[in-house]
Amino acid sequence: MNQPLFSALPDTRKRCFDPVVDARTRLLILGSLPGEKSLAHSQYYAHPQNKFWLLMGEVLGVDLKSLAYEARLTALLAHDVGLWDVVAQAHRAGSLDSNIRERDDNDLVALASSLPKLEVIAFNGGTAARLGLKVLQKQANRYRIVKLPSSSAAHTLPFSEKLALWSALKEG
């Protein structure tokens, strides 16, 4: 009996991290699924070319890039910002969103419902927005939705243009 070819391939199933949120979370930033570097380091946005920490540092007025990872997360929470991913797990060779296959989505509705101060849901990149809005379609009108250009280096928009768009996350 022949085995399916897929079973002979290495396990490429990737899993997201736990959400970084608390009861004060006002802004939730959703990515698609952590890339290879992030998974290897067990850290959101660990790839040195990813501009997430620089962009959020500019938005919050805090030098997040120079902080240790745990201090970065603490600083986000102190500014009422949470992180998670739209995709819970999926098969994906490499880090590109276009390679995501056979995905299971996170329960974004349950998470959003558990956050009493949540006002804004921002999507880091087009894939996160497309998939996340499908999951949140009935609840999306409860929140201000912000679609952001990906902080990934794979999205080649110049930093200044990304920052101009990410500045929509600034309060008031």
Q: Cite the active site residues.
A: 50
- Nearest CA to 48 out of 37, 57, 35 is that of 37
Q: Is 101 exposed, middle or buried (0-12, 13-18, 19+ CB in 10 A)?
A: exposed
How far apart CA 46 and CA 12 sit, in angstroms, is: 19
Question: What tokens appear for 93 in the block?
Answer: 């060779």
What is the distance of C-alpha 84 from the center of its chain? 5
